[in-house]
A = this chain, B = another copy of it.
Amino acid sequence: MISREKHDRMANAIRFLSMDAVEKANSGHPGLPMGAADIATVLFTRFLSFDPKTPSWPNRDRFVLSAGHGSMLLYSLLYLTGYEDITIDEIKNFRQLGARTAGHPEYGHAAGIETTTGPLGQGIANAVGMALAERKLRDEFGADLMEHYTYVIAGDGCLMEGISQEAIALAGHLKLNKLIVFWDDNNISIDGPISIADSTDQHARFRACQWHTIAVDGHDPDAIAAAIEEAQKSDKPTMIACKTTIGFGAPNKAGTHKVHGSPLGAEEIAATRKALNWESEAFAVPSDVLDAWRLAGLRSTKAHKEWDARLEKTEAEKKAQFVRRFAGELESGLDPAISAYKKKLAETKPNPATRKASEDALEVINGVLLETIGGSADLTGSNNTKTSQTKSITPTDFSGRYIHYGVREHGMAAAMNGMALHGGLIPYSGGFLIFSDYCRPSIRLAALMGIRVIHVLTHDSIGLGEDGPTHQPVEHMAALRAIPNLLVFRPADATETAEVWQLALESHNRPSAIALTRQNLMPVRLEYEEENLSARGAYDLVSASDAKVTIFASGSEIEIAVKAQQALSAKGISTRVVSVPCVELFAEQPEAYQKAVIGNSPVKIAVEAGIRQGWDHFIGSDGIFVGMSSFGASGPYKELYKHFGITPEAVVAAAEAKLG
C-alpha cells in the first residue's frame, strides 16, 4: 500500500519531469501532465497490468493518452516505471530531432506508446478498437489468454471532436465494459474556460450512449482508486470524470489556460518547487521515489509469468494460432488459396464489379485467415464486405467477425487502428470512396504509425451514377495517394482485385485503401499468372513493340484503355496499355523497370475517372489526360462517362490528334 505522502511524491515526480522537460525544450504542454499526475499515479501503481521488461506482452492492459499533447505524462510514466526505451536523456531531449520523446506520443518510437495521439479524439476511438479486439479475442481464445482492461485519459478537446462521439456510441452499444475512460475535467481549453465554447453535460451524454459514469476529485488517490474498482465491476464502459486543476502545483498559473501549452518559465517552476516541497534539481528524481516507481513497474511480473505458463499449456494448434496472429504473420495456406482462385478466374473470366470481386476474394481469404475482422459503416450490401464466414458481432455475442459500425466512418477507421495496434486481428472496413474524407485523419494516422488496416472503398468514381456529385469521388484517388506510406489500390478486374487483397494483407507495416467499382467490368487479365503482377504497381497489360501510343490507366478505365488500344491497333497505330493498380508500389520498383514501363512512346495518355494530379509522373506535363477536371453529375453512369468524355473514342481521337 502506498501512503498518501508517497503517492504525492510519486505524482510530483511526473509533474517535475514534465515541467522541466517542457522548460528545457522551450515548447510543450505542462498543464495536462501536472493536472493528471494523480490519476496516472493511481492507475500505474495500483491497477495497470503491464511489464516494462516485455512491453509487447499481448495480455497487458492498454493505456492510451488520448490527450496526446500531454505527452510528457506518458514519457514520465515510461521512464519512471522502467521502460528501457525512455531514459532520462530521452526526457531531457524532449521534442528534439531524433529523440524518442516527440512532441506528441509516436507509436513505434518507444515501447509502451500504444498509439500515436495528438489529433484530438483519435486516442479514445483507438481505445474503443482495442477494447473491441480484447473482447473479440477473449471470446475466441478464452480469458486464460486474453482478458485485460483498456484505459484512456481524454481531455475536453477529445470529447468535443465528433470522432469521439462516434466511438463512444459504438462502445456503449457493444457494451465494452473493460474500457475505462478518465476524463481530465479541468474546465480549461486553449481559448480559455470551457464555458466559452461548450455547455455539455458530459455525464448525461455518456449515459445516453449507454456508459456508466462516475465523478471524482482527480487529486484524491483513494477516490480515484475506488472509482476504478467500481468501473471494473460495471457491465458497461465507464467514464470517470476527474475534476482536476490544470497545471496542479504551479502557484500562479495553475487552473488557467496559460499553463496549457507553454513552458511555465523559470520563476514559476521555482515557485512550484517551493509549493510542492520538491528539492531535487531538474531531471533528478529522489531515489526513494524512483525506487517506488520501479517497484510499481514490477507489479505485474508475476501475472505475466502465470500468463506465460498458461500459454505454454495451451493446446498446440490454438497456441500456434495465437502466437502467429500476435506476430502479425499470415497463414501459409493463403498464397495457394489465392493462386487457386486466380486460376479459376482465368478459366471462368467473370465480369463482376470489383466490389463483388472483392467479396469473392474475401470469401477465399476469410476462409484461410481467422484474424480478419470485417465491417461497414452501414453500407454492408453496397460494400460487399460480408462473407459466409463473418457472422455479425452483437453486444452479447462476439463469436462473429463482422462489425456493423453504423454511419460512423471516422469512428470505424480509428477503431480499426486500435484493433490493429492491439494485435491478433486484421481489420478491414467498408465504405464509399467519397467518405474516405470522413475518416481521413485516421487513415493518415494508420500510415504514420505503419499499421495494417485495410479500407474497402467502393463506388469509386462517377461510375456510381445517379447518386451524383456528393457521392462521386473525383479527387479522392489523388488525395489518398498524397498520404505517405499508404498503399492505394485500384484494381481493374477480378484477378487484380485478388492480387491487391493479397498485397494489402502482406503489407504488415502500412495501411491499404482499395478503390472498387459499383459497375461491372470486363475481365482484362485473361491468362493465369502465378506472379502477382499488381505487386509491381504498374505493368504492361498489352505490350507492343515500338509503340507509338502508350495508355496508362487504372481500375474501371482499363476497359476503356484496352478498347482504345484495339481501335488504334486496328488502324495500324502500335499501342501499349499499362495497368496501374498501385502508384506507390510502382514508385518502389527499380529505376530501370520504371523507365521501361513508362517507355518513350511519342504519345502518352493517362485515363482515370478522377483528376489529373499525379499522372504527370507517367505521361509528362505535355501528356494527354482523359479524366475529370470538375465535380461529377447525377445520371446513369454510361451517360456520365460520355458526358465527361471518358470513352475509348475520346482516347483514340486524342491520340490521333497528337500524332497529327
Contact = CB atoms under 8 A, between A and B. Distances in A.
A102 interface: yes
B169 A406 contact: no
A448 B470 contact: yes
Contact of A201 (B120, B208, B643): B208
A258 to B, nearest CB: 11
B200 A208 contact: yes
Copies of this chain, count: 2
A413 to B, nearest CB: 11
A616 B478 CA distance: 14
A274 interface: no
A202 to B, nearest CB: 7
A482 B478 contact: yes
A485 B630 contact: yes
A216 to B, nearest CB: 20
Interface residues of A, number: 112
A233 interface: no
A660 interface: no
Interface string A373-415: 0001011111000000000101100000000111111110000
A478 B475 contact: no
Given A197-B378, A378-B190, A635-B97, A406 B467 contact: no
A620 interface: yes
Interface in A194-239: 196-205, 207-210
Interface centre among A120, A376, A445 (most CB of B within 10 A): A120
A381 B164 contact: no
A422 interface: no
Interface string A405-437: 111111100000000000000000000001101
B636 A119 contact: no
A475 B470 contact: no
B470 A116 contact: yes
Contact of A204 (B27, B119, B208, B470): B208
Contact of A470 (B68, B203, B394, B643): B68
A257 to B, nearest CB: 9
A276 to B, nearest CB: 26
B102 A468 contact: yes
A499 interface: no
B103 A405 contact: no
A645 interface: no
Interface stretch (A131-139, A154-162, A277-285, A336-344): A154-162
B448 A631 contact: yes
A481 B613 contact: yes
A15 interface: no
Given A190-B378, A202-B208, A616-B620, 16 more contacts: A28-B466, A97-B640, A104-B471, A104-B634, A118-B467, A156-B407, A158-B407, A161-B162, A162-B164, A162-B410, A169-B199, A169-B200, A197-B405, A445-B470, A447-B631, A478-B482
28 contacts: A95-B468, A96-B635, A97-B636, A99-B635, A102-B634, A103-B470, A118-B467, A118-B471, A157-B378, A160-B166, A160-B408, A161-B407, A165-B165, A173-B199, A190-B382, A199-B210, A199-B395, A201-B207, A202-B208, A208-B208, A435-B441, A437-B440, A475-B482, A479-B483, A484-B630, A484-B631, A613-B613, A621-B621
- Which A-B residue pairs are the 8 nearest by beta carbons? A162-B162, A97-B635, A197-B406, A204-B208, A102-B634, A118-B470, A616-B616, A475-B482
Interface of A: 25, 27-28, 68, 95-99, 102-104, 106, 116-121, 156-158, 160-166, 169-170, 172-173, 189-192, 196-205, 207-210, 376, 378-382, 392, 394-395, 404-411, 434-435, 437-438, 440-441, 444-445, 447-448, 465-471, 474-475, 478-479, 481-485, 611, 613-614, 616-618, 620-621, 629-631, 633-636, 639-640, 643
